[in-house]
Structure 1
């Protein structure tokens, strides 16, 4: 087949990195699996189990209804927007947070604040299209979620890296962030629990970033795709949706600053259904309607109507989501305890653990390639989560960090992966150190 083109491709697409996960899977094709040593994949943040039967039944019923085959409103099915607004009020009011006046408050979220999108990546792109022009800037903590950086690059928007440190648990610094803000800065984008590091940002840190964005009159994009996989007994993920949040700013109104993103893929285990959401000011959502109409028209309708089945979301939250979250937390504990000596967890949470390998002078890129090709273990190096494949946060760690996903494996596979990590140093001829 001829591979030449008679036309030129855009500079933006040519300068954007290729999706990293297929790159890692290409390494794994060089491994020959066997019954006793199968390929073990801890690279991708995908659910490892199917959704519960009650949701599968709702999806089947909705998909077979001819009334669901037409377009729906650009911002989503009204019934699902109402149901998810109610769910968000429960999530962000859990434990009843105390406002400045010492009274109990509920999260202030209505259906008019919610838009349903065809996945969370589209939610990010649609939001950024409304916030920034080509040549403007968006601040991302490094290591970053590669799809956010790729999207900005394709749009001609400059990614400004906010470097994080392992000795700070890979949490971004509001003070260092403020030094990066310029007249071209349009937004700060955070992911918590983080992808790739798994770092869970505490409410006080999220509030500090909200106050910073509010002070400089820029947007705070807060991607909470992995929100449901942390311990909710400690209270809500943050208090930004409270009408009186003294930690954030005087006379705080979240709609002036916050653009919240969420994915149904992880919590509800339906990545193929492509559903995400934006919670933001209705004023911003009016403009997001324009971007969504040009990108996707509307999110898939059958899945929206299935999730809007009366009582389904609360039932899934009480049972399926809570059970899955507990299993993931237990697997994080198992993984940390089973890692061989020298492999150090820098942070973990949500779907991911960020681990420093023990081989001095060897980049994570080389370690991950050889793990896939020779040991049958597929994981991702830090170089996939930073610009130009080079990362140095000033701590002399030489880009030795590796992302492991604990979501798409069971406990037995976690133990097998750790056993192969124990074998790899001797097999590769690399000495361990304690740097």
Structure 2
């Protein structure tokens, strides 16, 4: 019997999520003990959180006080803890207060909810905003161009949104580039939204100096971050708790107040028990060694992948959880490659086209890029994936570079 009520045209126009599409291919692979399925598709931690955090979450979940609502902005103790932790990440001169922060039910909500505060309009997708894509290119290291961005700004533009380290390319945007975008956003009275989900996996020092006065680092002249910057963060990656859904937004006072108004309808408050568990552990710095060890382990797997990947599979970028790789098959789209890798070789990856609207999927050279996640596999699985990539150069029977 068919459904009698109508679905939103916006949600019908929204593409199916990438991971289920890739897992549908993987389900057709005849895995054996000798040749298991190897999953490098999802950006998920490959290890559980440390026991101290598991124990704290168990205790917090059992506490009657965790069963009630919180203020929209989150647990005050966690907000204080994260203001302190952000100074560890961005420098002691970073001007960050607990009142600047809001906890959300995952970074997906942290990413989407600011759009409700900036503007809500009828669009042709499931989001309340129209996204204009700022393309990046292999010959530029997949770094965004402020000049190209400036050419896209119109009177209707509300924000510039960047993800660094990037997903899917892994590109890490240097501080001076982010400073250029900050200047551009301020010049046009726009919000600069920085999704820094993978910030704890940057090993080259502070990701940027935009939380600091203009006299520090590459911050623009006469810079005050609360005029322009909106920062996003995920607890999922740094603390290995993606199932507990915690994200964070930092922004100007008027913005965070508006955000809390929107969140009162979207979540009321983020999950309470993990906030209570994290607050004292982050305050004391007890979790910092775990996060640092995990970051070093991810960097090690990046180095191993780079050393073992077959030469014809060219790495364009690496950073955060991801390696962005150009496949070697002439005239073949990345989606074709990823489907055969999953179904025939038991290697699950994501084509770059899964991260763009269907009308924007690239052909030719720009359509040959594949995302590999190094975070959710161990060293041996990285080696096995690279061995199977080499095998496919023969077994696929397609022309190679």
Deviation at 1:90, TM superposition (A): 1.6
Residues 1:316 and 2:287 are matched in the alignment: yes
**Alpha-carbon contact 1:363-1:398 (below 8 Å) kept:** no
Match of 2:116 among 115, 129, 135: 129
Residues 346-365 of structure 1 mapped to structure 2, 5 A cutoff: 346-365=316-335
Aligned to 1:272: 243
Query: Which residue number corresponds to residue 187 of structure 1?
Result: 159
Q: Quick check: 1:397 aligned with 2:365?
A: yes
Whether contact under 8 Å (1:340, 1:418) holds in the other structure is: yes
Q: Distance in 2 between the 1:258 and 1:424 partners?
A: 45
Query: Structure 2 stretches of 5 or more lacking a match?
Result: none
Residue 222 in structure 1 maps to residue 194 in structure 2: yes
Across the aligned residues of Structure 1 and Structure 2, the Cα RMSD in angstroms comes to 1.5
Match of 1:260 among 231, 241, 245: 231
Within the candidate set 304, 325, 345, 2:275 is matched to: 304
Report if the CA contact (8 A) 2:41-2:373 is conserved. yes
Of residues 195, 211, 216 in structure 2, which corresponds to 1:241? 211
Seen in structure 2, the aligned counterparts of structure 1 residues 398 and 229 have a Cα distance that, compared at 3 Å, is closer
Give distance in 1, aligned partners of 2:25 and 2:338. 9
1:129-157 CA-to-partner distances (Å, cap 9, x unmatched) read 00123169xxxxxxxxxxxxxxx931342
Deviations 1:173-211 (A, max 9, x none): 000000000011101111100000000000001111111
| 1:115 Cα deviation from its structure 2 partner | 0.5
* Contact 2:73-2:269 within 8 A present in 1 as well: yes
User: Deviation string for 1:289-342 (max 9, x for gaps)?
Assistant: 11100001100111001011256551211x100100001001000001101121
- For 1:313 and 1:289, how far apart are their aligned partners in 2? 28
> Quick check: 1:411 aligned with 2:379?
yes
CA distance in 1, matches of 2:16, 2:281: 42
Q: Secondary structure at 2:388's aligned position in 1?
A: helix
Residue-by-residue CA offset, 1:343-364 (whole Å, 9 max, x unaligned): 0000010100000000010110
Structure 1: where are the runs of 5+ without partners?
95-105, 137-151
Distance 1:260 1:78, change over 3 A: same
CA distance in 2, matches of 1:303, 1:411: 30
- The separation in 2 between residues aligned to 1:322 and 1:51, in whole angstroms, is 13
CA distance in 2, matches of 1:26, 1:204: 41
TM-score (norm 2): 0.97
| 1:422 equivalenced with 2:390 (yes/no) | yes
Number of matched pairs: 400
For 1:109 and 1:80, locate their aligned partners in 2 and report how far apart those are by CA, in whole Å: 14
Out of 297, 308, 312, which is 1:338 matched to?
Answer: 308
The equivalent residue for 1:154 is 126
Show CA shifts across 1:197-227 (max 9, x none).
0000000011111110000001011000000
1:117 pairs with 2:87: no
SS at match of 2:172: coil
Larger deviation: 382-391 or 338-347? Answer: 382-391
- In the aligned structure 2, how far is the partner of 1:37 from the partner of 1:424? 14
- Answer yes or no: is the 8 Å Cα contact 2:116–2:128 preserved in 1: no
Deviation at 1:390, TM superposition (A): 4.5
* Alpha-carbon distance, 1:282 to partner: 1.7
Alpha-carbon separation, structure 1, partners of 2:64 and 2:265: 25
Alignment-derived partner of residue 369 in structure 1: 339
Structure 2 CA distance for partners of 1:287 and 1:264, relative to 1, 3 Å: same
Residue pair 1:12, 1:156 contacting (<8 A) in 2 also:
no
**Which aligned pairs between 1:163-182 and structure 2 lie closer than 5 A?**
163-182=135-154
Once residues 66 and 312 of structure 1 are traced to their aligned partners in structure 2, the CA distance between those partners, rounded to angstroms, is 23
CA shift for structure 1 position 267? 0.3
Say if 1:153 and 1:159, in contact at 8 Å, map to a contact too. no
Work out whether residues 353 and 403 of structure 1, in 8 Å CA contact, stay in contact via their aligned partners in 2.
yes
CA distance in 1, matches of 2:117, 2:152: 21
Matches within 5 A, 1:13-52: 13-52=11-50
The residue matched to 1:189 in structure 2 has which SS? strand
Change (3 A) 1:275 1:255: same
